[in-house]
Chains A and B, each alone.
Chain A
């Protein structure tokens, strides 16, 4: 019985995923060797250099993967909450056990190696969330149903962000939004997220740019115009009345026109005018939604009102709440500041390294930028630079495509589950990998601000590799058991 079950594991486990995992890990290892390669370089297996150490981590991760596949699949479900509790305790204890590494209090020393508990937290949180949301009586009907899942991801995120000062690792928990979305959370939440980011960027980026006419700034006015469009769109969508859209748009245009004419004699405060228009539309919205009993529209009204306040708060948050180094990263990204020696140094050097690889790359171990250590953190967070420089566009494209297949494969695995818990867990895994890929590569390519999170399987480091191995192989184990769960 036991023998046949282990035979089943080898038959049922998803070898495609394992193949992609091995390919990414091996290629990552080659690039760590490339990134840490210097002139007096020793063998790729030498424990004195990072590639040698990474080899040890890889061997460890393979052993760990094997063990994880051996363990009874029910164990993960049974232990989920207990593990979650222990993990919270560990995360709370970490800042007191940790020694300061570059301002972060997330590393615990265990003899010769440093471990980062946050890397393992992702997996445990995913298991706990999956267990909670996978209950047979659980369904997302109202926002109340999401309170517990949000608490489950919010608590570790807050601990990591506030106590351990690891913003990047904390942000990863945002990936769970995709999981909630798949399970029925309103799509508007995602849109609100997108809108919040857009409003934040616009109000920061052009907040200091005065309007050519009247008083006010471009940032606020643009945000208000966006909110105006959103209001008009939803009011008319709910009522299915095109003429109303025309009337509302026309009125708004008329008000702005009058303001432009008045501006010849008096200075018109356009930001206040635009805000007034948005608020007026909100009240009109509230009126029609109560009149027609379309209460959903109240949400839009609330969102818009919140947006007005939020837009004005952005400036405050940006200048008062964010740390100076975070502020400058955003300013550099938005092109508001050029600081190639300071905050922009990483980004600029990364861009140069990737760009100088050209189409076919400079060849393995021949990258001058990475070899001569122009890119900081080039074997950890900025490992993609080495790929870009030494393997060129061809190699980078290859890596991104393999990653895409890997993530799509995880989604495929998620979709074929009959057990909701496993499906949720699979989506969590897929979302976490997608989040890491997006943030890390986006950062290297200068499209996103510098947020220090690793590129799975590529970045040097035992904790992150083992954390991702844990995440992936538990999924593979659960997936292999899908046939046994005819519930």
Chain B
């Protein structure tokens, strides 16, 4: 245009157009390049990740008998976002036979971010879990009327036998700590809480799978995303073969009924645990599913402490069973020879008197046979005083240290670390420091710690350690850490003791004599060549604990057993028959002494022990 005074305004208008586009390009750059949040939001919108739960590995005993398997259960999940305004709550409640109040309460719980940190209205949340097939049947039929509701199939544990609850452990819902520690888990997942289920959690759980589905804006599923490229199939858990002999385990638990105590059986050559019974216990089926938390509470509050695995966690003074170790250490460290004689009575026998009647003086084999207290006191004293006391008890203390080290070789005073047993106590073989604290550095002498000589006082062991100790004796000087997984890799954990094999023969001989002439003779079966040692342990909680350790057959040990019955009285009376029957069961496949079995199994020594 000629003489157009507003000609320049074209640039203003063009400038506005350029500015608008520029602003939008910057905004696009922000949304599509800088801001990272939209990608996840889009995936949350459109993609539903459906977890496919693998079936948990089964658990078998050493003979391939099925112990633990899976039963299907169902859980109902809801995705809040997909539940429209006119969602039929009443009908839903009727399907599940719950009240409106229960429904509202549960919804509030799900939405509470403090209780349910992972809450999102875009992802399925567990509404009710652990339902039986019949519980969900009605809902299953009318599922189409309840958008946002899904029925998810899960599995629960089930058990063939009401046995070995402590060993097998249980499976329960993961807590927040587990989720923080291992990002494999999400809320509502299950994991092994204790026992083997916990130790072998990674092996048993398998690998969750995921199916990525697309969902449209109305919550309708539209098939798999990218033709299933992002899906991952679930990998089933690996089965676990244990070292347990379920028949032996059942027998041990049967015999312990009505008593507080435990029994451990080990195959000496391999360290495989054949039975690990602790009573009181529970029926593993009660810690499964909906009843779990209720029953767990009952078990937790029971004053007989059924949840405690006494076989590995309770500690006792070993009493006379400790004399086997005393013999070996005294022989090895040169305090005695097999022919050393000590008088059973007279001035030498003070301060510890003999509780049995036998000839005097005795040699080692008979001392073991008769469980002669003065003999072992004298031997222990002579061991500790071998070099005299020395300056500041230097020599004595050194001898004590050597003794302690030798004793601890048997696996006492410490936990087994190279094994798969979860819950263990370490027990205690007191150190010089311990006595220094109690009596002062030069304030204690052999006489001060005389109870150690007969396994009383400060020495504490677990039944598992006792069983391992007797397995070591049966093996003549080595042990393989006791374990539960029948997997050859476990056999590598060999512990060779620094004690001459010939000394073991002496002790083995003594233990055989116990079963022929001594305290265990009433329960011996000649053909099985049993060897053993009883123990009757004084304790501050009432009657003596009855303890027995043994192995059989003596010439080729197949089984080593330790039995502890709390507050039962003589070891010979209560612990020895249980151990003897367990050896019989394992070696012959049955218990022929039906009367004895019935008498022991039906004897109730503690009224509070509950049977599950």
Instruction: Report which A residues bind B (CB closer than 8 A).
Output: 38-39, 178, 181-184, 187, 349, 351-359, 368-369, 372-374, 388-389, 392-393, 396-397, 400-401, 403-404, 407-408, 411, 414-415, 417-418, 420, 423, 427, 430-431, 434, 437-438, 441-442, 445-447
Contacts and interface: CB of A to CB of B under 8 A. Distances in A.
B305 to A, nearest CB: 53
Contacts of B223: 39
A182 B10 contact: yes
B47 interface: yes
Contacts of A355: 31-32, 35, 37-39, 41-42
B18 A404 contact: yes
6 contacts: A351-B31, A369-B42, A388-B31, A388-B32, A411-B13, A420-B1
Contacts of A404: 17-18, 21
A354 B17 contact: no
Contact of B21 (A182, A351, A400): A400
B41 A352 contact: yes
B28 A430 contact: no
A178 B21 contact: no
Contacts of A359: 32-33
Contact of B46 (A39, A368, A407, A431): A368
B18 A388 contact: no
Contacts of A183: 6
A243 B35 CA distance: 48
A353 B28 CA distance: 12
Contacts of A368: 42-43, 45-47, 214, 225
Given A400-B25, A437-B20, A372 B215 contact: yes
B23 interface: yes
B41 A372 contact: no
A281 to B, nearest CB: 29
A328 B35 CA distance: 25
Nearest to A430: B13
A180 to B, nearest CB: 11
A392 B32 contact: yes
B222 A427 contact: no
Given A393-B33, A420-B1, A372 B18 contact: no
Nearest to A373: B217
B16 interface: yes
Nearest to B121: A341
B9 interface: yes
Given A352-B42, A368-B214, A388 B28 contact: yes
Contact of B31 (A38, A354, A397, A442): A354
A411 B10 contact: yes
A187 B13 CA distance: 11
Interface string B33-58: 10101110111011100000000000
B216 interface: yes
The 8 closest A-B pairs by CB, nearest first: A355-B38, A356-B42, A368-B46, A372-B216, A393-B32, A355-B31, A374-B217, A373-B217
B28 A358 contact: no
B217 A372 contact: yes
Interface in B377-422: none
B588 interface: no
B20 A181 contact: no
A374 B32 contact: no
B14 interface: yes
Nearest to B47: A368
Contacts of A423: 1
A420 B2 CA distance: 11
A356 B6 CA distance: 45
Given A187-B12, A408-B14, A437-B20, 18 more contacts: A38-B222, A181-B13, A352-B41, A354-B31, A354-B38, A355-B31, A356-B41, A368-B43, A368-B214, A388-B32, A396-B28, A396-B32, A401-B21, A404-B17, A427-B13, A431-B13, A434-B20, A447-B27
Nearest to B2: A418
A407 B215 CA distance: 39
B36 to A, nearest CB: 9
Nearest to A419: B1
Contacts of A349: 45
B29 interface: yes
Given A355-B32, A396-B32, A411 B14 contact: yes
A327 B28 CA distance: 26
B484 to A, nearest CB: 49
Given A396-B28, A420-B1, A445-B31, A372 B13 contact: no
Contacts of B218: 373
A182 B215 CA distance: 51
B24 A442 contact: yes
Nearest to A445: B27
B120 to A, nearest CB: 13
Contacts of B43: 356, 368
Interface string B206-244: 000000001111100011010000000000000000000
B16 A358 contact: no
Contact of A434 (B17, B46, B47): B17
A191 to B, nearest CB: 12
Given A373-B216, A400-B24, A418-B1, A39 B222 contact: yes
B230 to A, nearest CB: 12
B1 to A, nearest CB: 7
A369 B45 contact: yes
A68 B5 CA distance: 33
Nearest to B215: A372
